[in-house]
Amino acid sequence: MKKYDKYGLVSALALTAALVTAPAQATQSYDAKSLEMARQPLNVALQKLSEKFDVQIASFSEDLSGKTVRKLSGQYNLKDALTAALAGSGLYYLRVDDRTIAVGTSERLSAQYQKAGFKVISSNAASDYEANLAPYQDDEKVDEVDSFAFDEIIVTATRRSESLRDVPMAISALGGDAIEKRGLSGFADYLNGVPGVTMADRGAGANTIIIRGISTSPQSGLGSTAGVYLGEVPLADLAGTVNGDSAGNADLKMVDIDRVEVLKGPQGTLFGSASMGGTVRLIPKAPSLDKIEGIVLTQYSNTGESGGHNTAIQGAVNVPVIEDKFALRAVAYRFDDSGYVDNVAADGQLPVLDIAKGLGGIARKEPGVGGSKTTGFRVTGFWMPVDDLSFSLSHIHQNTRVDGSAQVNLGLSGKFQQERLGVGRSGLGTEFQEQNIDVTNLVINYDVGWGELLSSTTRIDHQSSNEGDLSFFYGLIGGQGIAVPNSTANVRNVDSFIQELRFASSFDGPFQFLVGGYYEDKDDVMNVLQTWSGHPELEAAAAGTWLFGAPPPSGVPAGFVWDSFDWRFHVAKANIQKAVFGEFSYDLTDQLKATVGVRHFEYDRKSVSEYVGIGFNGVFENAPKNSGETYRANLSYRPSDDVLLYGQFSQGFRMGGSAPDSSTLVGCLDSEGQILLANGNKVTPPDGALNPDKLDSYEVGAKIALANRRVILNAAAYRINWDGLPVQEVVDLSSLPGCSTGAITLNAGESVSQGIELDAQMMLTENLNANLSFSYGEAKLSGQSSLGNDGDNLPGSADTQVSFGLEYLFDIQGHDAFVRGDYSYVSEFYSNIAETGQASGGYHLVDLTAGISVDGLNISVFVKNLTNDDSLTWVESSFAGNGANRAYRLRPRTIGLSLGYEF
């Protein structure tokens, strides 16, 4: 006879007898109970659940051997607790009667139930369905109990594993199955469909995430206002270099990803600097200790307009090297996406470029520029020498290269056209952008019984470079509407060491805490070289005066003579950031829970900037440092298992930066040591440092499950007060003729962002489900500053967003199939506060996908941007006017086929 698990379980004989004699039972919803269970062996966890819910749980010892349970923290009923405990184990559970649960493999359970004369209607606990039984004799069927509901998603937004519907804050999450079905590979594929989130799509390496309108200028280089994580690794502010611009985020491909979590609202307590508007987290699939599995996926598609062929290949494999002790998981991928913009500089549609061409600027006719190639891999080793201790070591590498630029010039005869001259000293080179990122991360988990200690150690090496045409640049500065052949070459290197250590309790009582420390050492070096890209013999004549005798622009000293069109800018930054943080929660009653948190931060930043060859050469040094605290307070109330209400106050911050000090403001200070601004105000200079800008957020929300969890509703309303925005104020040079600068940067801005967010998931039938989301928010300046006027909209954020998805599951000759459609609407927005030029957004995007699975082979066809909407996703604010007007458009309609094989 097989050996059965010994923990409070019935024998095989008793189990069979129970199956034979048990009447059909409707699903009972046990009262939710507070669980705080650390990572532990599955057999021990089932014993605790048996005792907690006063039920018997029957299983085979060999089915449980070597399997562990992730942390369970929060309010769970019996169904949700079993679902979370068995997730990823390959085991199922079945309700035998009101007091007995069976756990085992599908084959073993099916065999036992067939002997007992029952038919298994649903036993797929691994996919989060609750099992239900009904008597079955001969061909006569009795009424079956509804057994379908939405999958339970476990998230770690609070640094603990919790059910998504138990976390009292606004979170959007997407599981790995949905990522694969929809063919999502980058942030731009997904984030614009999340309520309250705008993805400023500026091309590879320069994309910027804006959450709840928290942004002043994604092109400012002041630092990100949204955090980005891959597992435990922070990736915010690892931007590419676009025309010397360093705003944006690293965009790692979504390959072999378990889920995406979007935390909305400031996360300054647990996630620190940059998480002002919120945080986006990619959670990779973890190695499995007990099974060999993998997938190979290939994809071909074609993009319309000036686009072409696109291909992708990706693969993942998991190998248990030592069963139940050590496993490896490896991922590799390559994406080749065609360009879809034509460079028509040789056609001469923009007269502003005529002078530049006459000076030797190279004008070409190139179709389909802006294509990208991304290759990468991720290798993770997971070692669990004993049940309470685990080590996870991973290395990630990704290279992205864009040949040409995906920007268009507005005002040309074609919507997907640009005029760009050759780059480099000879002008014979072509534009490109390239990024390399290497991340090594070691995570150590140690379960001490009453809590878990986690250490995360990370090393990041990020390199980016680009060459781009800047022929419009000097004409724009001089205000003459002319162009001189000139280009830029930029190189940026970021080297970071990050250490985080935290401890999360798992007491049996109502009190829990999480405490930790954070350390970051980051070196950031950028070199910008601008060079003449026309005929070498014509440079001296052009550089002898300011653009052919034109008067110098405002702010340039009288008598200024341009030395050369070659100059360079070098900046080296060394950043040290330290923090300690903690959150403490207490169950005031079975239904009411209070949480408070605090983070104390300190940073020391050193910056050395050197300008050579631009008429005002010099070296400027700054050493800003500061410290402070952010706080969080949350009160949640659960009147029933299906309703959660909450209110929250939270703060976010962004580290301050460098600013001119008194020694560099010669002639700008009056007798009182202040500067007179053009708006008539007097200010004291920041003395070399900008303070951190902070915001306060107030949020209320509700999470509601209806119709046996076949309808999930989430709603949130918020108001965010942002204070201390860095703004550039214009100096009154008429009153201060000896001043060496025309503007000064101060913590002088304020704004208010407020709105509502709604989303719903609806399982209309067992095979048909839908999702719907809506958000409306306004982010506006409050008060006057050089940013703009009171009531002006902050740039980069759409006020209204709507998304809708519909998926139908069906069967074709015994094979699972699906068809899915997704629609998203993003209202218009501007990339500058003055709202000048052309607006971005205002588009309706429709995607369709259909697929079938045949013995491990997955086949799908898809259409992205079905209606071929050509709306703008971003209009550059750096080069507006005189024919430059650079912008980005939605990728034209793309039709493709995907083939994958799972084993």
Q: What is the 3-state secondary structure (H, E, C) of 823-851?
A: EEEECCECCCCCCCCCCECCEEEEEEEEE
pLDDT of 85 reads 84
Whether the per-residue pLDDT at 204 is higher than 70: the answer is no
Q: What's the whole-number mean pLDDT along residues 473-500?
A: 78
Most confident of 543-552, 558-567, 763-772: 763-772
Q: What's the whole-number mean pLDDT along residues 400-421?
A: 92
Whether the per-residue pLDDT at 130 is higher than 50: the answer is no
**Can you tell me the distance from the alpha carbon of 352 to that of 328, in angstroms, rounded to the nearest whole number?**
58
Whether the per-residue pLDDT at 346 is higher than 90: the answer is yes
* pLDDT > 70 in the chain, percent: 79
pLDDT of 6 reads 33
pLDDT of 546 reads 46
Query: Which amino acid type is present at position 741?
Result: T
pLDDT confidence of 93, banded at 50, 70, 90?
A: confident
Mind giving me the DSSP string for 395-410? EEEEEEEEES---EET
Q: What's the whole-number mean pLDDT along residues 135-144?
A: 32
Q: Which two tokens stand for residue 413?
A: 């005869």
Minimum mean pLDDT among 218-222, 528-532, 641-645, 874-878: which range?
218-222
Domain residue ranges in the chain: 12-147, 166-902
Architecture of domain 12-147: 3-Layer(bab) Sandwich (3.55)
pLDDT confidence of 94, banded at 50, 70, 90?
A: confident
pLDDT of 740 reads 60
Q: Per-residue pLDDT tens for 164-203?
A: 888 999 999 888 888 888 888 888 788 878 888 988 777 6
Q: Per-residue pLDDT tens for 459-475?
A: 999 998 989 998 876 65
- Could you confirm whether domain 166-902 is CATH 3.40.630.30? no
* pLDDT > 90 in the chain, percent: 43
Whether the per-residue pLDDT at 79 is higher than 50: the answer is yes
Element (H, E) at 525: strand 511-532
Q: What's the whole-number mean pLDDT along residues 771-786?
A: 87
**Can you tell me the distance from the alpha carbon of 437 to that of 399, in angstroms, rounded to the nearest whole number?**
7
Q: Per-residue pLDDT tens for 748-766?
A: 778 999 999 999 999 998 8
Domains 12-147 and 166-902 share a fold: no
pLDDT confidence of 243, banded at 50, 70, 90?
A: very low
Burial class (CB in 10 A: 0-12, 13-18, 19+), 292: exposed
Longest Cα–Cα distance of the chain, Å, equals 102
pLDDT of 138 reads 32
* Cα 584 to Cα 217, 270, 512, 835, 838, distances in angstroms: 36, 12, 6, 44, 48
Q: Per-residue pLDDT tens for 358-375?
A: 888 999 999 999 999 999
pLDDT confidence of 137, banded at 50, 70, 90?
A: very low
Whether the per-residue pLDDT at 440 is higher than 80: the answer is yes
**Can you tell me the distance from the alpha carbon of 700 to that of 649, in angstroms, rounded to the nearest whole number?**
9
pLDDT confidence of 616, banded at 50, 70, 90?
A: low
Record the pTM: 0.81
pLDDT of 22 reads 42
Of the candidates 664, 394, 359, 367, the residue with the CA atom closest to the CA atom of residue 483 = 359
**Can you tell me the distance from the alpha carbon of 41 to that of 63, in angstroms, rounded to the nearest whole number?**
12
* Helices 42-53 + 78-86 axis angle, to 10: 180
Rg (CA), the chain: 30
pLDDT confidence of 661, banded at 50, 70, 90?
A: low
Q: Which two tokens stand for residue 235?
A: 């990736």
Of the candidates 513, 522, 511, 515, the residue with the CA atom closest to the CA atom of residue 454 = 515
Q: Which two tokens stand for residue 794?
A: 């902050």
Query: Which amino acid type is present at position 166?
Result: D
